[in-house]
Amino acid sequence: MTKALPSSDDQSQQCDRRQLETVEFPSGAPRDGCIQAVVATCEYIHEHGEASQTEIFEDLVPEEEYPIGVNGALAEAKGLTPGFRQWWWEKIVAPGLHALPDVEPVTTSETHWQPTE
């Protein structure tokens, strides 16, 4: 079930970077890059009403747009994109999404997310 997109007044409260201050990202991963990836994913979820991990991978192309330092560039150059995407999701995006009160997982596997009501 697709949820209604939020009004512009609601959008100012969405994907608040300040909510990510306590999230521990992998050591060696640039914090700003991690936060950008989480915020972009959160915004994508809000823009689409909900989103699966696969849709996010296909549309955000993390190894190109949010490579998190050298990890993404190396993954793409060596053909290791699926492994990078899984690492990007499990170590950066999912922990960040859990810290944001305006999105929630739809499934227990946490591969499908939606805005909270």
Q: Is residue 1 part of a domain?
A: no
Residue 77, burial from CB neighbour count under 10 angstroms (0-12, 13-18, 19+): exposed
Q: Tell me whether residue 17 is in a domain.
A: no
List the single range of 13-17, 67-71, 90-94 with lowest mean pLDDT. 67-71
Give the model's pLDDT for residue 32: 92
16, part of any domain: no
Q: What is the arithmetic mean of pLDDT over 26-48?
A: 93
**Rounded to two decimals, what is the model's pTM?**
0.80
Nearest-angstrom CA–CA distance, 9 and 47: 14
Check if the beta carbon of residue 93 is closer than 8 Å to that of residue 37.
yes
Q: Decide if pLDDT at 41 tops 60.
A: yes
Number of structural domains in the chain = 1
Domain that holds residue 40: 27-115
Say if 107 falls within a structural domain.
yes
Tell me if 70 is assigned to some domain: yes
- Average pLDDT of the chain is 82
CA–CA separation, 88 and 62 (whole Å):
8
What's residue 63's pLDDT?
A: 76
pLDDT at 34 over 50: yes
Give the H or E element holding residue 96: helix 94-99
For 3-33, write each residue's pLDDT tens digit. Answer: 444 444 444 468 999 999 999 998 888 899 9
In terms of pLDDT, which residue wins out, 10 or 116? 116
Q: Which residue has the higher pLDDT, 33 or 81?
A: 33
Closest CA to 6 of 108, 103, 113: 103
Domain annotation covers residue 51: yes
